[in-house]
Amino acid sequence: MPQTTARSSNQYIELVRENPDFRNLWLGQVVSLLGDWFNLIGSAALIATLTDSGVALSGLFVVRMLAPFLVSPIAGVVADRYDRRTILVVSDLMRAGIVLCFLFVRSAEMVWLLYVLTALQLGVSGFFDPAKNAILPDVVPPQRLGAANAVSSATWSVMMAFGAAIGGLVAGTWGVYTSFVLDALTFLLSAFFIWQVRYRAQPVQGRQGKSIRAALGEYLEGLSYLNRERDILMIASQKGLIGLAVAGGFNVVQVAIAEQVFVIGEGGSLSLGIFLMIFGIGTGVGPIVARRWSGDRDGPLRKSIAIFYGLTSVGLLVLAPLADFYSVNLGMFIRGFGGGVVWVFATQLLLQNVPAAVRGRVFATEFAIFALASAIGAAWTGLALDHLGISATLWLMFWFNLVPGGIWLWWTLRRNRAMRTASARHG
């Protein structure tokens, strides 16, 4: 077992060390994600301090989700038409400028500006994220794709943990506006790293022209592909179902717990940083541990998603009573562990099964589903917090989380039966 663990660890280290294109892409992700958590904690703490409203706080997360949803149709087409590296760099530069404007939000009357700037920032992110997912198989050989996805996902989790902890410390010690300045600097550094990725654009869809009508046709072609490939559609819908049930509103709940129950730092910014850190550690450890069993095999990946949906529910059970600071953090870790596996393995299934020609549009559609569902999830969570309280809202999340887990289990069993039947007919 120690040899297996060492070999598994070595493949991640070797990938980063031996592939300079992936390394630069990864370094860009590291610094960009660090800034993202600075921004999220700063924005949430600022709204909580200025408004003291659950609805106003949930509004931040609704905006963060709706903006990328609105741009997703064109973002997917752009990711399949143009140089993906250029899309990433331009997106980083634009976001750096937008984030600096957060410094103008100084009173409750200016919160509307924070919403507008958040919409612009996350709208640009709606172009960045599909291009980032779509470019991964272009800079990594097929046999390393699973490891690359695991490293990328683990980096998100590690930077969530580290960035949330540091972001909470910065916001709690030097104020939220320092967080915004640091976020802008991380976008500039990310652009520097990504620009060094050697990537040759493959004009997959250029033959259809560059008119708006052609772009719309390409987007509809992507939707048609998902309509034909129902299994891909089901995989691409998982993050959206999670966002509707739990993920969309979970950040709102974390902020409420930090601000109202376990208050450490300005507006609970330090306790929020701790919660996000523990949750991030769980999301990072989960996929790495589960991948030792599943590898990149289709069947085990699907079974793992069903199993770890259940673990996510266990985490919510531990969280809901709000018994003490330690049990809340334990629940955060368990919920992150299970949710991280579901998220990463769903992405891996898409990377392995979606052809390059429609990859950008599929990932953009997946992101759109997740964004819209998460916006709805954040909205109902804000209302529930104002009318029912934190603990009751967490209990609702527990029951709602059983729905996507049940849907995935039903689909997996149905698909397995269909495959056995088809195999018997041809046998």
* pLDDT tens, position by position, 18-65: 888 888 888 888 887 777 777 877 888 888 788 877 677 777 877 887
User: Per-residue pLDDT for 242 more than 80?
Assistant: yes
Residue 4 has a pLDDT of 43
pLDDT at 98 over 90: yes
Neighbouring C-alpha atoms within 13 Å toward the C-beta of 153: 27
Structure tokens at 271: 């306790």
pLDDT digits (tens, 9 = 90+) for 283-323: 878 888 888 888 778 888 899 999 999 999 999 999 998 88
Tell me what pLDDT residue 92 has. 92
Over residues 346-379, the pLDDT tens digits come to 988 988 888 877 777 788 788 888 888 887 888 8
Nearest by Cα to 302 from 154, 411, 180, 177: 411
Residue 264: which residues within 8 A CB-CB, separation 6 or more? 172, 258, 270, 271, 274
Tell me how far apart the alpha carbons of residues 379 and 371 are, in angstroms, rounded to a whole number: 12
Report the C-alpha gap between 214 and 207 in whole angstroms. Answer: 10
The single-letter DSSP state of residue 268 is G
The band of 216, judged by pLDDT with boundaries at 50, 70 and 90, is low
Q: CA quadruple 199, 28, 68, 160: dihedral positive or negative?
A: positive
CA distance 235 to 365: 11
Tokens representing 23 are 């390394």
Q: Which residue shows structure tokens 């995989």? A: 235
pLDDT tens, residue by residue, 224-236: 888 888 889 999 9
| 134: pLDDT strictly greater than 90 | no
Q: Predicted confidence band at 100 (pLDDT cuts at 50, 70, 90)? A: very high
Mean pLDDT over all residues of the chain?
81
Least confident among 43-47, 88-92, 133-137, 264-268: 264-268
Residues 12-39 as b/e (b if ≥16 CB within 10 A, e otherwise) read beebbeebebbbbbbbbbbbbbbbbbbb
If one compares 322 and 427, the residue with the highest pLDDT of the two is 322
pLDDT band at residue 247 using 50, 70 and 90 as cut-offs: confident
Residue listed under structure tokens 């958040």: 118
Length of the chain: 427
The phi, psi pair for 323, rounded to 5°, reads: -65, -50
**Dihedral pair phi/psi, residue 264, rounded to 5°:** -135, 125
| Single pTM value for the model | 0.70
CA-closest candidate to residue 62, choices 6, 115, 138, 3: 115
**pLDDT per position as a tens digit, 170-180:** 776 777 888 88
pLDDT of residue 267: 66
Answer yes or no: is pLDDT of 270 > 80: no
Map out the domains of the chain with their CATH numbers. Answer: 21-196+214-420 (1.20.1250.20)
Q: Is the pLDDT of residue 205 over 50?
A: no
Q: Return the closest-CA partner of residue 155 out of 259, 5, 302, 34.
A: 34
**In 269-342, where do the E strands start and end?**
none
Q: Say if residues 84 and 387 touch (Cβ distance below 8 Å).
A: no
Strands (E), 100-229: none
CA 130 to CA 360: how far, in whole Å?
A: 6
pLDDT tops 60 at residue 201: no
